[in-house]
A and B are shown apart, each in its own frame.
Chain A
């Protein structure tokens, strides 16, 4: 007896937005990688380090505030007590721009690709039908969002803690805070792009990054001539809104930085640096053959 055949409806196939045989566009790929990397980056062990680095100025601010409230003492610059805005300006320049921003750039920027290589997971990303440069740019954006969302709120908290010290005025320092926030975001973007390039190009990116940030940049800024133009700090310091302390280390730095580019030039150079360094890093990642150690 012939069996009656029941027509089976075809299983619904989920159609990707870009078609079954079509790779996603560059920006779509960037956003996918960004989405994937953001959570990974934010909840990695590095975040503990990030928290410590960013939390220390806040702890310092609380300490200053407690000392002042208790009448034990106040912050001194060159032997005389400094007002809150001066202390805040010094912390932004010396702690954030000269230390925290480059350090975060080194630890996150150099690891964008290097971490995937070390964990042998780079293959999973590179076998996808997306541009390798999109992987780098997506990870770079995730780095930027992670650091910006941690550093900038910490600066705002520090502002509220430190600026009122010694009769400082929040209102008077507020325009400088806005400049500082923009400056820090720009610094994170510039150092991130530089160290993403170093991470893509060099075999030991962490060491190379540390040598660049705390060796080359310090040396080049101290030397007369044009060498300082090959640093990021040279262009960032032209945008710093705070007057530097009048003596001691601050005075030395001020004397060194007297020859500063105009803000427009600095902004233009920093934007060009970010674009060029990211493009170079993307090109290297596209062309490089990654051999994973067994």
Chain B
């Protein structure tokens, strides 16, 4: 073998190994998402309309594979009941079939219909899922070349007041959209990325901060408060908040950060005072029980001197163990 051949083989192997190493590092979560990505956030954001007020994401695979979930499962805190029920109803096994989920919520339409959709990426056997849907009496029609599964005929004819008929569509290989019929159709019609939330600079600036989180939600606070129908006494006392976000990372325990953006610094300071008050109250209540005090999550209040108020905390596995144990004890007492 000549030196030239050896150099060629070495160079080729080097490219191969470096490329694979990048993949391995990315796979095990050690690579900043922005390094090779051409956009911020998950790909499914391309299906979210630009005027969505709240966007949420969950890396189902991360959560399902997390040490925390396995631990809760062995302790009996997590059962397969709900998962099996969902599988029977839809044919989708959340644990095995779904990798990640993006959900969004928008302002109510003029006719008072709630606006929103869920987009799931994973491995879906379209033929089997369509067969399950047919068994349940769903209608399947082709809409612009995509299969659109609509709710049972009797539901559609009954015409639920204020609610639109639900639909499921396989919008691209491995991607399913679930929402109102009109929203799902719009998702099919809208070219991915065009007029999507990715063009909403305010929202995307906040989404960009969520890199590497197992789950997150970002939205305008007015949208949440109007949906939550909070009593006036509560809304009147909360300082005016424009944006909120929450993100968490799940593994052995949960690390979470909740941020709220007040209209001004004064509002942010008021909000911090309220949070400090609640934290102190909770600590005082736990103070009577030393074991509970030891397990209390370490809450950090941040964002001093700015409009943003952040609360971060980490919940350890010990706390979950204690909660599960007390749950079991309560059940025994109940029996």
Chain A interface residues (CB < 8 Å from chain B): 35, 38-39, 42-43, 65, 68-69, 74, 76-84, 86, 89, 145, 149-150, 152-153, 156-157, 159-160, 163-172, 174-175, 177, 242-247
Contact = CB atoms under 8 A, between A and B. Distances in A.
Contacts of A169: 26, 33, 37, 42-43
Nearest to B2: A39
A159 B16 CA distance: 11
Contacts of A150: 12
B38 A170 contact: no
A60 to B, nearest CB: 15
Contacts of B171: 80
27 contacts: A35-B1, A39-B2, A43-B4, A65-B38, A78-B145, A80-B188, A81-B194, A82-B192, A83-B43, A149-B12, A153-B12, A156-B23, A157-B15, A159-B19, A167-B43, A168-B43, A169-B26, A169-B37, A169-B42, A172-B100, A174-B26, A175-B27, A177-B23, A243-B174, A244-B173, A246-B170, A247-B145
Contacts of B193: 74, 81, 166
Interface string B18-32: 011011101111010
Interface of B: 1-2, 4-5, 8-9, 12-13, 15-16, 19-20, 22-24, 26-29, 31, 33, 36-46, 99-100, 123, 144-146, 170-175, 188, 191-194, 198
Given A81-B191, A153-B15, A177-B23, A170 B36 contact: yes
Contacts of B44: 167
Of the listed residues A74, A77, A79, A171, the one surrounded by the most CB atoms of chain B closer than 10 A to its CB is: A171
Nearest to B123: A243
Contacts of A68: 38
A159 B24 CA distance: 13
A83 B16 contact: no
A76 B172 CA distance: 11
A167 B45 contact: yes
B145 A79 contact: yes
A81 B38 contact: no
A171 B191 contact: no
A83 B119 CA distance: 14
A63 to B, nearest CB: 13
A142 to B, nearest CB: 10
Contacts of A245: 173
Nearest to B36: A164
Given A78-B145, A82-B172, A246-B145, A152 B16 contact: yes
Contacts of A79: 144-145, 191
Nearest to A166: B43
Of the listed residues A149, A157, A169, A175, the one surrounded by the most CB atoms of chain B closer than 10 A to its CB is: A169
Given A149-B12, A174-B23, A80 B192 contact: yes
Contacts of B36: 160, 163-164, 170
B145 A160 contact: no
A167 B12 contact: no
B172 A80 contact: yes
Contacts of A86: 172-174
Contacts of B37: 164, 167-170
Nearest to A77: B172
A167 B39 contact: yes
A174 B21 CA distance: 10
Nearest to A163: B36
